[in-house]
Amino acid sequence: EADIYQTPRYLVIGTGKKITLECSQTMGHDKMYWYQQDPGMELHLIHYSYGVNSTEKGDLSSESTVSRIRTEHFPLTLESARPSHTSQYLCASSGVGGPSTGELFFGEGSRLTVL
């Protein structure tokens, strides 16, 4: 059972609003990730972090930003949401060995709709 939690699970907001998607893990993992997934499409890595105060952009450009002030939290923020941001956002974490061991643990996702 994965111990990684995302809130909210579903969010519908208007254009221009600021939103933060929360992600927390209780496994003490150093590495955390945000993936974006449109229906029927690949998961694309948009942000990752290897530890506190470490954040990097992934292979898909995103207007969102992330922070990693504490090991267990990796929130994602959109300062001004637009309809093009409508998507599902998946948070994941991994421990020793990281993705090389394949042991990514995923949250249940946050489905964002921007009207």
- Quote the Cα angle for 28-61-26, to 5°: 10
Nearest to another protein of 17, 73 (CB atom): 73
Separation of CA 60 from chain center: 13
Nearest to another protein of 28, 97 (CB atom): 97
Q: Give the separation between CA 79 and CA 53, rounded to whole angstroms.
A: 20
For residue 75, whether the previous peptide bond is cis, meaning omega lies within 30 degrees of 0, is no
Residues in contact with another protein by the rule CB under 8 A: 2, 4, 31, 33, 35, 40-45, 48, 50, 58-59, 90, 92, 98-109
How far apart are CB 61 and another protein at their closest, in Å?
14
How far apart are CB 35 and another protein at their closest, in Å?
8
